[in-house]
Amino acid sequence: MKKDVFLLLLCFVALTVCAQAPVEIKGLWYTLDASKSTATVVANPTGDGYSGEIVIPDVVENGGKTYDVTEIGEEAFCGTNIQSVTIGDKLKNIAYRAFAYSSVASAVIGKGVENVESYAFYDCRRLTDVIIGNNEATEVNTIIGQSAFQQCPSLSSVILGKSVKTIGGFAFYDCENLRDVYFLRESKPSTSYWSPSFDGRYDGKMTIHVPESGLESYSWSTLGYRSKEVQTIKADELVKCATPQITYGNGVVSFTCETEGVEFVSHIDVDEAWFFNSTNDNAPLNFTVSVFAIKKGCLRSDTAVDAFSIDGFSYQVNTNAFKDGDVNKDGNVNVADHVKLSEIIMNKGK
């Protein structure tokens, strides 16, 4: 009888460990495996989701113990309002639909990743550039799963590092604006013959860029295209965009960059308390702007961040609406007002 009770206690302890609740560490939620000293990024269990710029660290600490961040769990950022993601070099796996349907605009995936699973970035409508392998030599063999980046209509540039060995079927299908793909591996990654990795319907609109020393290994026919537009690149050709500068004046945020021809991807966070301030007609508005620069054939820049404060709103037509936080004048104070105010500050609103 005692033996049975002891075994039941062991099973209970094992189940407790396996069902460990997620913990929040510096704004991200993780499940921790103490036996392996590893951490997995998971969805926000509060239901609030994630937003803004996401940086996945190499390690996290909890309870005096250090954990390597090795995985992003299934649907961890699915459907969230994130702006960009930068993933550390210790991460091994990006799970099924981890970022699907999110608003992510840029993804930098570290050199240690081994698997980008099926549908990981499926239907990310704002995704404009992807870097996998981070342009560094590595012994890791990275597999990009089926439909991993399918249906990303804004995707224009992809840099596939030296670690990318396999690209699954339909991985970059339905990406009608994909114009440049940079392969840094000297030998062509393996692809599916029956399910093309790239979309042949856009034949002739794209250029692949391959290492000069490995030109003979690449051909459009083996990548799913009939076009023969192949250009060679040198190891030092891909440069990093300069960090943008942020300025604010006359109610307008502006960006500049020393690298010519860049596009800016920006995000704004507004102090939520301002929307519900009814005691001060001239309550200052505090907001934070972050922005990075991207350019075809370049590594994305570091992110610039700056904070500003506005006193009063005399440059707007209806200050009474601002006093109550009802920016769009619909009689309610909610997230729609937050969006409208962000547009005004970024000089997109009326």
- Domain layout of the chain by residue ranges: 22-233, 245-345
Bridge-partner residues for 284, per DSSP? none
The top-scoring range by mean pLDDT among 4-13, 195-204, 314-323, 324-333 is 195-204
Provide the mean pLDDT of the chain: 79
Distance between CA atoms of residues 151 and 120, nearest Å: 11
Contact 156, 130 (CB under 8 A): no
User: For residue 316, with 0-12 CB atoms within 10 Å meaning exposed, 13-18 middle and 19 or more buried, which class applies?
Assistant: middle
Segment 304-316 mean pLDDT: 65
pLDDT for 290? 81
pLDDT for 203? 62
**Which tokens hold the place of 8?**
């039941």
- Residue 141 pLDDT greater than 70, yes or no: yes
Could you tell me which residue, 227 or 62, shows the higher pLDDT?
Answer: 62
Could you tell me which residue, 329 or 177, shows the higher pLDDT?
Answer: 177
Tokens 């393996």 — which residue? 190
The top-scoring range by mean pLDDT among 100-104, 179-183, 344-348 is 100-104
- Residue 10 pLDDT greater than 70, yes or no: no
Could you tell me which residue, 340 or 267, shows the higher pLDDT?
Answer: 267
pLDDT for 67? 97
pLDDT for 77? 97
Report the half-sphere exposure of 329 (CA within 13 A, side-chain side): 7
- Residue 113 pLDDT greater than 80, yes or no: yes
pLDDT for 102? 95
Please name the residue ranges forming H helices in the chain.
2-18, 220-223, 319-323, 335-345
For 152-161, 293-302, 328-337, which range has the lowest pLDDT when averaged over its residues? 328-337
**What are 63-102's pLDDT values in tens digits?**
999 999 999 999 999 999 998 898 988 999 999 999 999 9
3-state secondary structure 287-323: EEEEEEEECCCCECCCCEEEEEEECCCCCCCCHHHHH
pLDDT for 7? 45
Of 238, 336, 272, 300, nearest to 108 by C-alpha is 300
**Which tokens hold the place of 216?**
């003979």
pLDDT for 78? 97
pLDDT for 315? 33
CATH value of 22-233 in 2.102.10.10, 3.30.300.30, 3.40.50.360, 3.80.10.10: 3.80.10.10
**What are 83-93's pLDDT values in tens digits?**
889 898 899 99
Total Cβ atoms within 10 A of residue 139: 7
CA 314 and chain centroid, separation: 37
